[in-house]
Amino acid sequence: MAATTDQPTAPPRDHNRTREDFYGDIAPLNMTPLWEVMSSLITPEPVSRVKPCLWRYDEVRPWLLRSGDVISAKEAERRVLILENPGMPGESKITNSLYAGLQLILPGEVAPSHRHAQSALRFIVEGEGAYTAVDGERASMSRGDLILTPSWTWHDHGNETEEPTVWLDGLDIPIVQAFETSFVERYPEDSQPVSRPSGDSAARFGHNMRPFGYVAASGASPVFSYPYADYREALEQMRARDEWDVCDGLKMEFINPIDGGPVMPTISCFVQLLPKGFATDPYRSTAASVYSVVDGEGEAVIGEQAYDLHERDVIVVPSWVPVRFSAGDDLVLFSFSDRGIQQKLGLWREQRGHSPGSG
């Protein structure tokens, strides 16, 4: 005997029934008409909820320090104030694909060791001498340093100095959420044991060489510390040769030395120098970007909005919105985005200057 179901059957044609009647009839089948939403799903240009926003460090720092009175680093696991995009309140996002926050660790504290599926960067904005440990190796933190904690690497942070340390966190949390692939593990102790000397990863992989027979375990860079002193020297060498780009000034990408790709599969990181008096041409791309002012002062014009920039400020530029920078003093900008993963998926596009064409 054939099985019977209670599924509704399509009624006979009735030209007196409306489209709305039809939509109501198919709703119990968990179906909706594409033609009602197609124009919002497939748009002529990117449509983003991300809004330009500036976080002035001088304004947020007192509240960040106040958080140190509210909760300890151990109790919080990570004492962070999220930089929440005003276009997406309550979603813990700075762009649609990335998370950012300012993390504080006070003298004598340890942020306990854990690992997770999410990839993370730490860009140091204040403090000297605290550390991050990654898979048994410690890296000292200094202002302007970039430190990585790639997916599924054990990491903890400690501050054995007498001053607070603050860094900008950047993670791919929204991307991991989209794939529903989040995992986290806590280490049995607050600090993982040190099993490698400081600088070991840079010595092995940071000199255009790699250990013979090395097989990469992931798509992330095996070098996890990029000191400011090193990359600032590279920018100064470029300045001496007058290699200015009209949209970028002098710009470099932090790379994975194994394959030349982004430092982590989902997050690309950059630094650029604009000399005093330099003004860029408009630039836009599909990669919404987060900037931190390393040195100097200047201005960013995002769309039609102008923002004064000062050291340690953070600013976000939405996807496909033009941005122009001008430098009051020598201006050094660190930035991160999802450009690398967009390029791998064949989705990334850019537009330079006032030309209507795109690359």
| Residues 278-290: tens digit of each pLDDT | 999 999 999 999 9
Q: Which two tokens stand for residue 262?
A: 């982004």
Q: What is the pLDDT of residue 357?
A: 44
Q: What is the pLDDT of residue 141?
A: 96
Q: Is residue 72 part of a domain?
A: yes
Burial classification of residue 334, based on how many CB atoms lie within 10 Å of its CB (0-12 exposed, 13-18 middle, 19 or more buried)? buried
Number of domains in the chain: 1
pLDDT tens digits, one per residue of 41-97? 999 999 999 999 999 999 999 999 999 999 999 999 999 999 999 999 999 999 999
Cα–Cα distance, 273 to 252 (Å, whole number): 9
Q: Is residue 112 part of a domain?
A: yes
Q: Is residue 358 part of a domain?
A: no
Q: Is residue 311 part of a domain?
A: yes
Contacts of 68 (CB under 8 A, 6+ apart): 79, 104, 106, 164
Q: Is residue 12 part of a domain?
A: no
Distances (CA, A) of 211 to 89, 204, 296: 46, 6, 39
Cα–Cα distance, 55 to 77 (Å, whole number): 24
Q: Is residue 253 part of a domain?
A: yes
Q: Is residue 42 part of a domain?
A: no
Q: What is the pLDDT of residue 8?
A: 60
DSSP notation for 276-306: TT-BPPPEEESS-EEEEEEE--EEEEETTEE
Contacts of 328 (CB under 8 A, 6+ apart): 276, 296, 297, 298, 299
DSSP three-state, residue 211: coil
Nearest to 124 by CA among 96, 89, 87, 159: 159
Residues of the chain with pLDDT under 70: 1-12, 15-16, 355-359
Compute the half-sphere exposure of residue 180: CA atoms within 13 Å on the CB side of its CA.
Answer: 0
Provide φ and ψ at 132, rounded to 5°: -120, 135
Q: Is residue 27 part of a domain?
A: no
- pTM equals 0.93
Domain with residue 121: its CATH number is 2.60.120.10
Domain assignment of residue 336, given as a range: 53-210+218-352
Radius of gyration for the chain, computed over Cα atoms and rounded to the nearest angstrom:
24
